[in-house]
């Protein structure tokens, strides 16, 4: 039993070690800060150089540009906040309007036996003679009327 446990322990022992072995780059001295900033600048330079080389290649071969320039102004945080606030206000307003609107959205509405609907006249003829003799409540449940229109 313990041999199986040791095998399982060995299999799962490597999980998460890469995260533990990676040390954060927190500079402690001015020299370390300068080295960090230099490394960041070198990396940005490499990226811009690769982007430039890609654009030159595409221009030589008459292909569409991957990195197209934009003349549009990017959205600032305050502009984004105002836009999102406006969208949220519209959504909340529509929700409130729908909640306060006197609209029936489905389900069983009204009384169980169709209350509030128009009742039909009792048809003439011998066949419906007994219907006229029934009590008013029974006729209303059957949606027939003797006097009046709605329940």
- Residue pair 68/60 in contact (Cβ under 8 Å)? The answer is no
Residue 125 lies in a domain: yes
Rounded Cα distance between 11 and 92, Å, is: 53
Domain end (from 43, 66, 89)? 66
Question: Quick one: tokens of 18?
Answer: 């890469």
Q: Among 11, 43, 66, identify where a domain stops.
A: 66
Q: What is the pLDDT, as a whole number, of residue 151?
A: 44
Q: How many structural domains compose the chain?
A: 2
What is the predicted pLDDT for the residue at 117?
Answer: 62
Distance of alpha carbon 24 from its chain centroid, rounded?
Answer: 36
Q: Is residue 119 part of a domain?
A: yes
SS3 letters for 56-78? HHHHHCCCCCCCCCCCCCCCCHH
> Does some domain include residue 20?
no
Cα atoms in the 13 Å half-sphere on the side-chain side of 139: 23
Residue 92: inside a domain, yes or no? no
Residues with Cβ within 8 Å of 64's Cβ and at least 6 positions away in sequence, in order, are 58
Rounded CA separation 110/80 (Å): 46
Q: What is the pLDDT of residue 2?
A: 61
> Residue 61: inside a domain, yes or no?
yes
Note the pTM of the prediction, 2 decimals: 0.34
For residue 131, is it within any domain? yes
pLDDT at 55: 93
150 lies in a domain?
Answer: yes
Domain interval for residue 40: 28-66
Which segments of the chain have a pLDDT < 50?
114, 148-151
Domain-embedded: residue 86? no
Q: What is residue 111's predicted lDDT score, i.e. its pLDDT?
A: 57
Give the pLDDT of residue 140.
77
pLDDT value at residue 149: 46
């Amino acid at each position: 039993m313990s041999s199986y446990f040791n095998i399982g322990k060995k299999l799962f022992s490597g999980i998460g070690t890469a995260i533990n072995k990676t040390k954060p780059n927190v500079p402690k001295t001015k020299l370390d800060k300068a080295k960090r900033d230099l490394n960041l600048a070198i990396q940005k330079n490499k990226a811009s150089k690769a982007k430039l080389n890609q654009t030159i290649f595409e221009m030589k071969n008459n292909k569409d540009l991957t990195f197209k320039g934009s003349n549009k102004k990017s959205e600032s945080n305050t502009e984004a906040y105002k836009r999102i606030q406006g969208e949220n206000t519209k959504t909340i307003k529509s929700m409130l309007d729908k909640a306060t609107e006197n609209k029936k959205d489905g389900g069983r509405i009204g009384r169980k036996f169709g209350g509030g609907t128009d009742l039909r006249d009792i048809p003439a003829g011998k066949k419906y003679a007994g219907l006229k003799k029934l009590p008013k409540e029974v006729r209303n449940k059957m949606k027939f009327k003797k006097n009046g229109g709605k329940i």
